[in-house]
A and B are shown apart, each in its own frame.
Chain A
Amino acid sequence: MIGAGNVLFVIAGILALAGALITVSSRNPIRGAMGLLATIFGIALLFLKLNAQFLAAIQVIVYAGAVVVLFVFVIMLLGPDALGEVGSFPKGKSKVSRGIGGGLLAILAGVALVLLAGRGGAHVRFGDVQPDHGSVEAVGGLLFSRGLVAFELATALLIVAVIGAIAVARGKQTKSHLTPAQRGDGEFFHGTVVARDDRGRPPSKGDG
C-alpha cells in the first residue's frame, strides 16, 4: 500500500536531491541559490513528515527567508562578476586534481553509506510518538530549561558574527586626503589596489 505519506517522502526527497545537484553544478550562482532553495523546501517537507513542525517552520523562515535572500543580495551586488569563472579559467592541473579528489571523496562516501546501511533488510521502523513530538512547546520547553546554557552561549556567537561581519565588510572606510601610499597599509582606493606589501615594498605580484 502506498499512501500519501510515501508520496510526500518521494516528492520531498527528489526535490531536495535535484536542488542539491543544481546548486553544485550550475554555472550561474543565482541558479545555484534557487537550487538551494528547493533543497531547503524539500527538507522542510521531510521535517513535517518526521513530526518536526517547529523545525520545518524555522527551516523555511531562517534558511529561505534569511540565508538564501542574503546569497541573492550578494549575487545581485556583484552582478556578472558573480559568475566567477569568466576570464579566469581554472588552471588545468588543479582542475584535474580537484576532479580526482572529488571523485575519490564520492567513492569513499558511497562505501561509507553502504556500510552504514549494511544491515540487510533490518530496517528501523518509526514507532509512535507523543502528539507534542516536535511541537513548539516541546522544543521550546527544552531550549529554556536544560538547553539554557547552550542558548546563552549562542548569544556570544551572534554578537561575534555581528561585530565581525560589520568590521570586515563595512565599505571604504573614509575618503582620505592622504594617498594610499601615505596611509601605508594598502587601502582599497578608487577601484584598484595601490598597495604596498607588509614590508613596505611595492607589490611584486598578485596583490592587485
Chain B
Amino acid sequence: MGALLGNVLEHYVMLAGVLFTIGAVGFLVRRNVLVQLMSIELMLNAVNLAFVAYNRVHGDDMNGHMFVFFIIAVAAAEVAVGLAIVLSFYRLTGSVHSDDADALKG
C-alpha cells in the first residue's frame, strides 16, 4: 500500500473529489462573496487535478492537459469579471455579504 501511494489513479481522483466537495460545501455555506468566489476556484482546481490524473492513465493523447489549459484560462477570466461585479456591488451596498443582496424579493 505504501509504495502504491501516489502511483495509482484512485488516490488522485479521491483527492480531487474531496477538494471539489470542500469547495462546493464552502460555496453553499459561506456568505462572504469573496470566499464564495475562492470556493469556486477550489472546485476548478479539483477538476484540473482530475483531468491531469486521468490523462496520465489515458496515455499520450494530451487531451486532458489541453482541457486543463483552457480551464485555467477561463478561470482567470471568470475571476476578473466576478471581482468586477463584487466591486460594483460593494460600491452600492458597502458590503460583500451575499445576504445583503435582498433588494430583489422572490
> Quick check: do A and B touch in the complex, using CB within 8 A?
yes
Query: Per a CB cutoff under 8 Å, which of A2, A70, A142 touches B80?
Result: A70
- Bits for A143-164, please: 1 = Cβ < 8 Å to B, else 0: 1000100100010011011101
| A181, CB-defined interface residue at 8 Å | no
B32 contacts across to A, CB distance below 8 A = 29, 82-85
B87 near A77 (CB under 8 angstroms)?
A: yes
A178 contacts across to B, CB distance below 8 A = none
B40 to chain A, nearest CB (A): 11
A49 near B72 (CB under 8 angstroms)?
A: no
Assembled-state Cα–Cα distance A39/B16 (Å):
11
A100 to chain B, nearest CB (A): 10
Query: Per a CB cutoff under 8 Å, which of A9, A71, A90 touches B11?
Result: A9
Q: Is the interface of A mostly helix, strand, loop or mixed?
A: helix
A105-B24 contact in complex given A8-B6, A85-B32, C-beta closer than 8 Å: yes
B62 near A157 (CB under 8 angstroms)?
A: no
B29 contacts across to A, CB distance below 8 A = 24, 98-99, 101-102
Assembled-state Cα–Cα distance A36/B7 (Å):
25
| B106, CB-defined interface residue at 8 Å | no
| Number of chain B residues close to chain A: CB under 8 A | 81
B9 contacts across to A, CB distance below 8 A = 123-126
A–B pairs, 10, beta carbons within 8 Å: A2-B5, A8-B6, A17-B19, A23-B38, A62-B75, A63-B45, A99-B29, A125-B8, A139-B62, A150-B70
- Which chain B residue has the least Cβ–Cβ distance from A139? B65
Query: Per a CB cutoff under 8 Å, which of A9, A20, A54, A90 touches B19?
Result: A20
A84 near B69 (CB under 8 angstroms)?
A: no
A125-B7 contact in complex given A161-B81, A169-B87, C-beta closer than 8 Å: yes
- Bits for B77-106, please: 1 = Cβ < 8 Å to A, else 0: 111110111111011101111011011000
Interface residues in B35-78 (C-beta closer than 8 Å to A): 35, 37-39, 41-42, 45, 48-49, 52-53, 55-57, 59-60, 62-63, 65-66, 68-70, 72-78
- Bits for A1-27, please: 1 = Cβ < 8 Å to B, else 0: 111011011100100110011011110
A109 near B5 (CB under 8 angstroms)?
A: no
Query: Per a CB cutoff under 8 Å, which of A23, A49, A99, A109 touches B6?
Result: A49
- Which chain B residue has the least Cβ–Cβ distance from A75? B34
Query: Per a CB cutoff under 8 Å, which of A5, A24, A52, A84 touches B23?
Result: A24
Query: Per a CB cutoff under 8 Å, which of B77, B79, B94 touches A158?
Result: B77
A82-B84 contact in complex given A24-B42, A32-B38, A105-B25, C-beta closer than 8 Å: no
A82 near B34 (CB under 8 angstroms)?
A: yes
A20 contacts across to B, CB distance below 8 A = 19, 22-23, 42
B100 near A6 (CB under 8 angstroms)?
A: no
A165-B81 contact in complex given A58-B69, A105-B28, A154-B73, C-beta closer than 8 Å: yes
Q: A9-B5, A24-B23, A35-B38 are in contact. List 11 more A-B contacts (CB 8 A).
A: A23-B42, A24-B38, A47-B52, A84-B33, A91-B99, A161-B80, A168-B81, A168-B85, A168-B88, A171-B91, A207-B103
